[in-house]
Amino acid sequence: MKITHDDVRHVARLCRLELSGPELELFTHQLDAIVAYVTQLEQLDAPLDGSEAPDSETELTCPDREDEEAPSLDRELLLSQAPAHDGEHFLVPRIIE
Amino acid sequence: MTDLGASDLAGRIRAREVTAQAVTRAHLDRIAALDSTLNSFITVDAEGALASARQVDQRLERGEPVGPLCGVPVALKDNLVTAGIETTAGSRVLRGWRPPYDGTVVARLRAADAVLLGKLNMDEFAMGSSCESSAHGPCRNPWDTGRVPGGSSGGAAAAVAAGLCAAALGTDTGGSIRQPASFCGVVGLKPTYGRVSRMGVIAFASSLDQVGPLARTVRDCALLLEVIGGPDVKDSTCLPAPLQPGSLQQACQRRELKRLRVGIPREYLDQGGLEPSVERAVREAIATLAELGAEVRDVSLPHTRYAIAAYYLIATAEASSNLARYDGVRFGPTLPGARGNLDQMYSASRGEFGAEVKRRIMLGTFALCAGYHDAYYGRAQRVRALIQRDFQRVFDGGCDVIACPTSPCSAFRLGQRLDDPLQMYLADIFTISCNLAGLPGLALPCGLCDEGLPVGLQLLGPPLSEATLLGAGAAYEHATAWHTLRPPLDPVTS
């Protein structure tokens, strides 16, 4: 498929990136080349359905552990990293009128 | 002093032949002398480093026990979270962020009495193969400052090669430890996925990211992995396999390779586009493995040609999700201009991303988009399974390790590949499959190309085979002298 300005505008809006005119031009050109390259996955002739990941020692599991009390990070330390706070809460710009 | 490796330095400091403070000062002096040219560090914590060194010296004076990295100057890629020390991941978005905690690997280094010198330059959010996408400016290769050190852990490889630190930690998502190690002539180890905790690693692609060491010898990499690896309750993807202290260093005693079965993937070495002098160096290295007793055989990894396409869809899809947190609320600057609606606030903050990060977020978003998800992301995941199966067949078929080049080329010139991201991606061909399959990979110096730049041999093995890889690497290193070569830098300090 050919990647157009509209495709790039749509994707940029989805990921909340604002593109300048030259950026839109450049990314359309570059993403078109990259998407053309990755589209070669379509040529893969091996049957893809049912090819699940093989069993391996790296297969992910979610181990359980005891729910133990542990110290939390210090509130003042955490607040010190915020651009604005009131001593108890993070403050962010008002977005609802 | 700045030429000694981590194991040597730890031994001499423990024996009180030299103080940790003197070692730290020698490295800080060398950073001051050379790094304005190399730009391998983003942050140098001289005060913190000297304070740690002083503590080590005091404990030794009092006869108290010290850890395995006592007084060894180590530096950290800037995507490893460090309490109180600015951590930017090479991005403007995180400028000024002082994390309130240490990542697990950082805490383990401290507990082992390493001296942490500072934070190393990298491609922004580890997205790149040249260290040129850093908001801190490009890092330069100590072998030729007109060339890139590789990436994304370019600062780590350059600093280790130049003797600015005894060892470093990097991260590897698609080759980001091994390729720069190869370009700068040092040893780099990407452990099995889950071998090392990712708690406190700034996420790029969570199913691929892994922390690992860069050092000047295989044994030093073994020492560092023993310290940082092993189970961690703070990372549910960290494997429960324990790592015994000394076990990997013990493996590095190996001096011959009798009965080691080494597979050479024909898709890697017979592939066009391999720089002739790189191919020659790697073939000579394979011949050396055979002289050491290894049984070398031809093997096939038939889905190799789909690896880059699958990787760049999976890694960017995960990145697009992981980087959603840089929105000006959770992370990222809340810009004074962002006084409109919420979307404008997000966009203003995210406008701080560099071009490569924007490109990858968009590609990943595209791969996950309704209508394209199955054709791109879904297909890439199934190709990933086929690539895992390729490796499993080779290892089940009786191979202990796979040997191949780390990169198809040696270090290229700064700026040479910036205009064509696809060409930059294609050069990751030999390192990417290892991440897709979750395998360990070791890169080590195996020669110089025609321009006199380092070339790297890569050894890959089945999951949790680090001891085998390090043993084979150590035997090769013992039989050759490539790891003793140093870049032609002014000998400013001894």
Residue A21, pLDDT > 60, answer yes
Reported as a single tens digit per residue, the pLDDT across B236-262 is 999 999 999 999 999 999 999 999 999
The CA distance from B87 to B82, in Å, is: 7
- CA A66 remoteness from chain centre: 31
Closest Cα in chain B to A38: B309
Interface of B with A in 300-359 (CB under 8 A): 303, 305-306, 308-310, 312-313, 320, 324, 327, 329, 333-334, 338-339, 341-343, 345-348, 350-351, 353, 355, 358-359
Of B309, B313, B438, Cβ closest to residue A58: B438
Cβ of residue B392 closer than 8 Å to a chain A Cβ: yes
Query: According to the model, what pLDDT value does residue B93 have?
Result: 96
CB contact under 8 A, B100 and A81: yes
Residue A45, pLDDT > 90, answer no
Residue B192 is given by DSSP the state P
Query: According to the model, what pLDDT value does residue A56 have?
Result: 45
CB contact under 8 A, B237 and A60: yes
Where is average pLDDT lowest: A42-51, A69-78, B176-185, B480-489? A42-51
Reported as a single tens digit per residue, the pLDDT across B347-395 is 989 999 999 999 999 999 999 998 888 889 999 999 999 999 999 999 9
CB contact under 8 A, B100 and A40: no
Query: According to the model, what pLDDT value does residue B290 have?
Result: 98
In a domain, B195, yes or no: yes
CB contact under 8 A, B422 and A15: no
In a domain, B152, yes or no: yes
Location of structure tokens 């001051």: B32
Asked whether the beta carbons of B312 and B427 are under 8 A apart, the reply is no
In a domain, B388, yes or no: no
Residue A92, pLDDT > 90, answer no
Q: How many domains does chain B have?
A: 1
- Picking from A28, A41, A90 by the largest number of B CB atoms within 10 A of its own CB, the best residue to mutate is A41
- Residue B264's H or E segment, with its range, is strand B261-265
Residue B432 makes CB contacts below 8 A (sequence gap 6+) with B174, B175, B307, B308, B311
Count of alpha carbons within 13 angstroms of residue B100, beta-carbon side? 11
In a domain, B303, yes or no: no
Q: Which of B91, B176, B407, B465 is catalytic?
A: B176
CATH code: domain of residue B131 = 3.90.1300.10
What the block records as the tokens of A44 is: 């893969």
Could you confirm whether B152 is annotated as catalytic?
A: yes
Peptide bond connecting B320 to the previous residue in cis, omega within 30 degrees of 0: no
Could you confirm whether B77 is annotated as catalytic?
A: yes
Q: Phi and psi for B445 in degrees, rounded to 5?
A: -60, 135
Query: According to the model, what pLDDT value does residue B423 have?
Result: 87
Q: Phi and psi for B75 in degrees, rounded to 5?
A: -120, 160
CATH code of the domain occupying A5-43: 1.10.20.60
Closest CA to B106 of B7, B228, B10, B206: B228
Q: Which of B77, B410, B433, B465 is catalytic?
A: B77
CB contact under 8 A, B347 and A16: yes
Closest Cα in chain A to B387: A53
In a domain, B275, yes or no: no
- Residue A30's H or E segment, with its range, is helix A21-38
Where is average pLDDT lowest: A18-27, A69-78, B315-324, B445-454? A69-78
What is the rounded radius of gyration, in angstroms, for the C-alpha atoms of chain A? 24
In a domain, B464, yes or no: yes
Cβ of residue B86 closer than 8 Å to a chain A Cβ: no
What is the least distance, in Å, from the CA of B101 to any CA of chain A?
Answer: 8
Residue A36, pLDDT > 50, answer yes
CB contact under 8 A, A27 and B362: yes
Query: According to the model, what pLDDT value does residue B56 have?
Result: 98
Its domain, for residue B209, covers: 6-252+440-484
What is the least distance, in Å, from the CA of B424 to any CA of chain A?
Answer: 11
Q: What's the burial of B386, exposed, middle or buried (CB within 10 Å: 0-12/13-18/19+)?
A: buried
Q: Which residues of B touch A35 (CB under 8 A)?
A: 363, 366
Closest CA to B466 of B230, B300, B255: B230
- Picking from B327, B382, B383, B426 by the largest number of A CB atoms within 10 A of its own CB, the best residue to mutate is B382
What the block records as the tokens of B172 is: 């590897």
What is the least distance, in Å, from the CA of B481 to any CA of chain A?
Answer: 35
What the block records as the tokens of A93 is: 């710009």
Reported as a single tens digit per residue, the pLDDT across B435-463 is 999 999 999 999 999 999 999 999 999 99
Query: What is chain B's pLDDT, residue by residue, as a tens digit (494 residues)?
Result: 899 999 999 999 999 999 999 999 999 999 999 999 999 999 999 999 999 999 999 999 999 999 999 999 999 999 999 999 999 999 999 999 999 999 999 999 999 999 999 999 999 999 999 999 999 999 999 999 999 999 999 999 999 999 999 999 999 999 999 999 999 999 999 999 999 999 999 999 999 999 999 999 999 999 999 999 999 999 999 999 999 999 999 999 999 999 999 999 999 987 778 999 999 999 999 999 999 999 999 999 999 999 999 999 999 999 999 999 999 888 988 776 556 788 888 898 999 999 999 999 999 999 999 888 888 999 999 999 999 999 999 999 999 999 999 999 999 999 999 888 988 898 899 999 999 999 999 999 999 999 999 999 999 999 999 999 999 999 999 999 999 999 998 654 43
Give the residue extent of every domain in chain A: 5-43
What the block records as the tokens of B313 is: 């869809």
Interface of B with A in 218-247 (CB under 8 A): 233, 236-237, 239-241
The CA distance from B51 to B335, in Å, is: 36
Asked whether the beta carbons of B191 and B222 are under 8 A apart, the reply is no
Residue B277 makes CB contacts below 8 A (sequence gap 6+) with B410, B447, B449, B450, B455
Chain pair A-B, CB pairs under 8 angstroms? 139
Query: According to the model, what pLDDT value does residue A49 have?
Result: 54
